[in-house]
Copies of this chain bind each other. A is one copy, B any other.
């Protein structure tokens, strides 16, 4: 079978403890170092992570729990996170819980049981009960993109200022003379989607523009949803001059629908969309966009969890929970038409 530390010890004539010390970066006499390295080479030794984990209670593994894997927003973040963590020797275990709180609970349980050293979670459930096993074990937890009240003092977070983001969009519309502004929203109950709608409402209020429910079309963050919603809005609100589309997939759907219908933007309809992915690099006229800082989200999430891991303290003794709120970037494009004089 595979070589063990004992084999290395035999080969080199050194003690077990010495090999272990070497492996963990301790100081070893030059001569011995070479002997050990040779033996490792010759025997193809690799440390047994089970034994190591058993002793140290550490797995060098971070669990990631997400609501779905088929979202560009999510996979982009995961890729960034993996990249950073790998550099520190951590692997990630991804659990896709299909937006099912029950599965999410199981996923956390499963991961904790598996001995992960920390958890990064974009929560599907609203309450946060699923985090209990991790909290009890005092594991670092980082929430991504969606807030949760429970265990607030124990979990770190990386959020995006969604309300402000859509506010900025509406302000832009208003500056350009729009007042009949539609919005294609996300699913009810999802933190980000509620925040984005909130921003929409507040912005209108601030500008003294009456809020009309008919302009608000809740959808489901999917391509198909966007496709259908824009059609519905166009059908039911003939006087609408601008639309805010609150995520990427729906924007994709909407653009396809508009092209199909021959509705030109910005001539016939002004658009602002969320997220700046491949699409935006390709669509002409260019889309005016609220770009979420996906890279930064991933970076912060990874670094937050790493910094907790480095000074392993109880949450009581450790720094209080950190919640980073990142702001979106408003990227002007050509998809908003000016209705007023400058």
A187 at the interface (CB under 8 A from B): no
Tell me the complex Cα distance, A282–B250, Å.
12
A227 at the interface (CB under 8 A from B): yes
A54 at the interface (CB under 8 A from B): yes
A238 at the interface (CB under 8 A from B): no
Contact (Cβ within 8 A) B50 A282: no
A259 to chain B, nearest CB (A): 4
Tell me the complex Cα distance, A277–B57, Å.
43
Contact (Cβ within 8 A) A70 B70: no
Tell me the complex Cα distance, A75–B53, Å.
30
Find residues 30-64 in chain A having any chain B CB closer than 8 Å to their own CB.
Answer: 46-51, 53-54, 57, 59, 61
Residue in B47, B50, B279 whose CB lies within 8 Å of A53: B50
Tell me the complex Cα distance, A213–B49, Å.
53
* A47-91 interface code vs B (CB 8 A; 1 in, 0 out): 111110110010101000000111010011011001000000001
Tell me the complex Cα distance, A281–B222, Å.
12
Find residues 275-312 in chain A having any chain B CB closer than 8 Å to their own CB.
Answer: 278-279, 281-284
The stretch among A7-15, A93-101, A200-208 that forms the contact with chain B is A93-101
Residue in B57, B75, B91, B98 whose CB lies within 8 Å of A114: B91
A271 at the interface (CB under 8 A from B): no
* A238-259 interface code vs B (CB 8 A; 1 in, 0 out): 0000000000010011011101
Contact (Cβ within 8 A) A93 B96: no
Given the known inter-chain contacts A110-B91, A223-B282, please indicate yes or no for A70 contacting B59, CB distance below 8 A. no
Residue in B93, B227, B283 whose CB lies within 8 Å of A260: B283
A54 to chain B, nearest CB (A): 4
A184 at the interface (CB under 8 A from B): no
Contact (Cβ within 8 A) B70 A75: yes
Contact (Cβ within 8 A) A75 B69: yes
Q: Determine the residue in chain B with the shortest Cβ distance to A278.
A: B223
Tell me the complex Cα distance, A72–B137, Å.
35
Q: Determine the residue in chain B with the shortest Cβ distance to A55.
A: B50
Contact (Cβ within 8 A) B282 A227: yes
Contact (Cβ within 8 A) B59 A69: no
Tell me the complex Cα distance, A224–B279, Å.
8
A128 at the interface (CB under 8 A from B): no
Can you list 6 residue pairs at the A/B interface with Cβ under 8 Å?
Answer: A50-B59, A70-B72, A70-B76, A82-B95, A93-B93, A255-B256
Q: A92-B93, A93-B94, A256-B282 are in contact. List 8 more A-B contacts (CB 8 A).
A: A50-B115, A51-B54, A68-B79, A78-B96, A82-B96, A223-B279, A224-B282, A256-B279
Q: Name A's B-contacting residues (CB within 8 A).
A: 2, 46-51, 53-54, 57, 59, 61, 68-70, 72, 75-76, 78-79, 82, 91-96, 98, 110-111, 113-115, 137, 222-224, 227, 249, 252-253, 255-257, 259-260, 278-279, 281-284
